[in-house]
Amino acid sequence: MKVLVTQEFENKLREIKNKSDIMSVMEFVNQLENIKSSKEVKSHYALKKIFNIDDIYVYRINKNLRVFLSFNNEKNGREVLLLVSVSVREMMSNEILHNFFNNHSIEVLNNKLKKIIDLLDQSLFNYSDSCIGASEFKYYRTDANIPVHLYEELVEVINDINDEVANNNVLKTINKKDIITILKLLESNSPIRKLALFNQERHLSELITENYFENLDDSVDYATQRSFEKLEELADNARESAEELIKLLNKLLSDLEDLTV
């Protein structure tokens, strides 16, 4: 199982001062069992509700998984508490612990995917002023683009989801064919990747150098026009793939959200 960690958590980890409140592994398991038996909600989310926790972070140190809880303290503001340290072997051999960490990974992946989809949507589509956010009023931009860092983040999170689907029984209902299709839409020679790798500023600079006129303004005007035409060409070539990608990503997000209810 791959444990995900954010820079935000790394920073909070440094703030930890008191480690005397660490639960034993068995106390932690018993707490999860009690919550599970209450049939309130899934263990991970019930734990957050019962302790009024803002978030749960899982951090891997060598062969141990450590669970930290982030919560608001009326006197001292936000605090981070080290709840438990669990060996990977112990986690894998205990069904309750295993499910707890699996649920945490699903939530992290779900949140990452949602943010990426929102940013992709803004880069690829425009909305009519009368109904912002309504899919029926959404149309593909002629200057659609995908920032290369966003493309790389998307590839990374889809590969992480693919790994989780292969190793996590909680995700057995996820359609693996959809994930394979998404990865194909993002592969090295795909229209989407070509659009993401296109650097308009660099292309503009190269065109100015290659097509230098006596009047610099003429060179800039010519290069600017050709650069926009190149972007529009790449965007047009990627249109069908981009629309299919967004559709599949939203379906995948919906499937993941169903597992975290």
Tell me the pLDDT tens digit for each residue of 9-28: 445 444 444 444 445 555 55
Residues 37 and 153 occupy one common structural domain: no
Q: What percent of the chain has pLDDT over 70?
A: 53
Which stretch of 4-8, 74-78, 169-173, 188-192 has the lowest confidence by average pLDDT? 4-8
What total number of domains does the chain contain? 2
User: Under a CB-based contact definition with an 8 Å cutoff, are residues 32 and 97 in contact?
Assistant: yes
Partners of 73 in beta bridges: 77
Q: Please name every residue paired with 60 in a beta bridge, in sequence order, or none if there are none.
A: 65
Q: Is 113 a member of any domain?
A: yes
Do 155 and 44 reside in the same domain of the chain? no
3-class state of residue 19 by DSSP:
coil
Whether 58 and 137 share a structural domain: no
Looking at the structure, do residues 38 and 79 belong to the same domain, yes or no? yes
Beta-strand pair 77-87/64-73: antiparallel
Q: Is residue 100 part of a domain?
A: no
Co-location of 115 and 225 in the same domain: yes
Average per-residue pLDDT in the chain?
73
116, part of any domain: yes
User: 100 near 44, Cβ under 8 Å?
Assistant: yes
Residue 158 domain boundaries: 106-258
**Looking at the structure, do residues 113 and 239 belong to the same domain, yes or no?**
yes
Residues 6+ apart with CB under 8 A from 125: 138, 139, 140, 141, 144, 246
In a domain, residue 98? The reply is no
Return the pLDDT at 147: 94
> 49 pLDDT exceeds 60?
no
Please tell me whether residues 122 and 167 are part of one structural domain. Answer: yes
In a domain, 166, yes or no: yes
Same domain, yes or no, for 86 and 111?
A: no
- Give residue 228's pLDDT: 87
Do 138 and 230 belong together in one domain? yes
Which of 72, 93, 114 lies at the terminal end of a domain, its last residue?
93
Please tell me the number of Cα atoms within 13 Å of 20 on its side-chain side. 2
Higher pLDDT, 25 or 188: 188
Domain match, 135 and 71 both: no
User: Is 72 within the bounds of a domain?
Assistant: yes
User: Is position 147 within any domain?
Assistant: yes
Residue appearing with tokens 């001062």: 17
Confirm if 246 and 124 have CB atoms less than 8 A apart. yes
188 located within any domain: yes
Query: C-alpha dihedral over 81, 86, 88, 93, to 10 degrees?
Result: -130
CB proximity list for 261: less than 8 A, separation 6 or greater: none
Asked if residue 139 lies in contact with residue 243, where contact means CB atoms within 8 angstroms, the answer is no
Please state whether 4 falls in left (phi above 0), alpha (psi between -120 and 50) or beta: beta
Q: 73 with 49, same domain?
A: yes
pTM for this model (two decimals): 0.65
89 and 110 share a domain?
Answer: no
